[in-house]
Structure formats: C-alpha cells, structure tokens
Amino acid sequence: MKTLVFVIDKPLHGNVRAQEFLDMAMMAAAFDQRVLIVFEGDGAYALMKNQHADVIGLKNMIPVLNALAIYDINDVLIERESMKSRAISEDQLLIPADILSRCDIKSRMNAAGHVFSF
Amino acid sequence: MKISVQINASPYQHQTADTAWHFIQAALVSGHEVYRVFFYHDGIYNALRDSRPPGDERDIVKRWSELYRQSNIDLVVCVSSAQRRGLLEQSVAKKVGGYDKALADGFRIAGLGLLMEAVIDSDRHVTFGD
C-alpha cells in the first residue's frame, strides 16, 4: 500500500479540474491506497459552506466532498495558516478536517509515496 | 527503475509535453523502464490525430506515435477526460454518431484505473503540467 497525497490549492468551482482531480483521489482509495487530501492556499476556500456552483453553471462538487468518507478517505487536512490569512474559521468548514500547521502538513507530505498537485 | 509518467497539459500551449518527452527519452537512454504514459485533463489533446503543426515545427502528436512504435510504451488517454473534450474512442463514436478517427496511432483510451495501477506498480510516478 502506498500513501498518496492530493494537494488542492485552488477553489473547487472555477474549472473542471476539481472534478477530475477528486476522481483520481477516489480511484486511489478504491485501489486500497492510503489517501490524504490537503487543502492549502486558496484551496482553503474549497472547504467552505454555502457554495452555490449552480449560479455559474458548474457541477456542484460538494456532494463529492461529502462522499469522501464513503471511500474511506478520512485524512482530510487543511492548513491553519491558509485559513487564518483568509479569515476562515473552523465553524465555516463544510466537512470535518484536521487543521494542521504548514510545518506538520509538509512532514506528512514528506512521508508519502507520491504527491499529486491540483 | 520502473517509471510511469502523467501528462496534464495540452501540447504547444505549454512546454509540458516537450519536457515529458525529453524526460522519457533520457530515462530510456539511462536504461530505465517507462511503463506507461497517462494523458489526463487537457493532456488528452496530445492524442489528436489531425493535429497539423507548420512544417518547421516539431510534431508533438507524431512524436508520441513514434515513441510507441519504437519502444512499445503504453500510451493511455483517460476516457472521461477525453469524452468531455470531444475525443472519442472508435466504438463509442460509432454508437453516438461522433467522429471515429480522432485518436492518433499508438494511443488507447481507457479508465483511471490504469493510472492508479501505474502509480502503484512503478518505482516513480512523474507528473508533468499542473
């Protein structure tokens, strides 16, 4: 089993990449790999409540985020510094995520077999 | 070392496809095995048969087809990325009445499972393009 990290550093709605990117993470989980999803930088916005993708005619990605746990993807990390600099508080987060420092997230990534960037 | 490669960007717009191709050449010359090249996101445009760059430019699509002919490296285009962007596999194209000759020689269209298999089985998986 390998540990694969998927780093999301942009908001989810804005292009089709998010959908294809999360497909990759779920496929990795379906292949029984250990999957970590990291939200950092503007990616912190991806985890916020009250997103309305239908307004800009894009597919709503929130059900996919909610489905991560079904795929046994429970290691969802969000960078504390990114939240702070964007004034995002824990109660604004859509799904449970571990809020970790940049330093802690980097050490988790260093221990992984491969890092996919968004 | 067993290496797999993922290409996420279209040819010509960025240097991604060129860098990946040079990387593969260097890996082969150094005696490594390149197990699979997986074309994802806009990377699927690397497989368009009818790409016709001006004569004094490198032909990126042809270069991939030649790589397959010479080294038999598995060139896989992601099916969902491809369908979303209008590149259809022959049988699918026939079914929906689409263009059925879009895919260049040497490529095949398949699912994300082949990407994961490559990631798991290779010593290194190298991604080109963001």
pLDDT digits (tens, 9 = 90+) for A62-98: 999 999 999 999 999 999 999 999 999 999 999 999 9
Which CATH entry fits the domain spanning A3-117: 2.60.120.10, 3.90.1150.10, 3.40.1260.10, 3.90.1170.50? 3.40.1260.10
User: Which of A2, A23, A117 faces B112 most closely, judged by CB atoms?
Assistant: A23
Measure B54 CA to nearest chain A CA, in Å: 30
Cα separation, A59 vs A52, in Å, equals 10
Q: Which tens digits make up the pLDDT trace of A23-44?
A: 999 999 999 999 999 999 999 9
- In this structure, the number of other CB atoms found within 10 A of the CB of residue B48 comes to 21
Contact between residue B23 and residue B126 where contact means Cβ atoms under 8 Å apart: yes
ipTM of predicted assembly, 2 dp: 0.83
Nearest CA to B11 out of B54, B38, B35, B47 is that of: B47
Cα separation, A40 vs A100, in Å, equals 10
Q: Cβ separation of A31 and B113 shorter than 8 Å?
A: yes
Which residue among the candidates B34, B78, B87, B115 is catalytic per the annotation? Answer: B78
The residue to which tokens 């990605």 are assigned: A61
User: Which of A16, A28, A117 faces B116 most closely, judged by CB atoms?
Assistant: A28
Q: Which tens digits make up the pLDDT trace of B2-33?
A: 999 999 999 999 999 999 999 999 999 999 99
CATH code of the domain made up of B2-128: 3.40.1260.10
Rounded to 5 degrees, φ, ψ at A65 are -60, -40
Q: Cβ separation of A28 and B119 shorter than 8 Å?
A: yes
Q: Could you tell me the two tokens for A5?
A: 């990290």
Contact between residue A111 and residue A5 where contact means Cβ atoms under 8 Å apart: no
User: Which of A23, A31, A116 faces B127 most closely, judged by CB atoms?
Assistant: A116
The residue to which tokens 């540990």 are assigned: A3
Chain B residues in contact with A112 by the CB 8 A cut-off are: none
Q: Could you tell me the two tokens for A38?
A: 């990291």
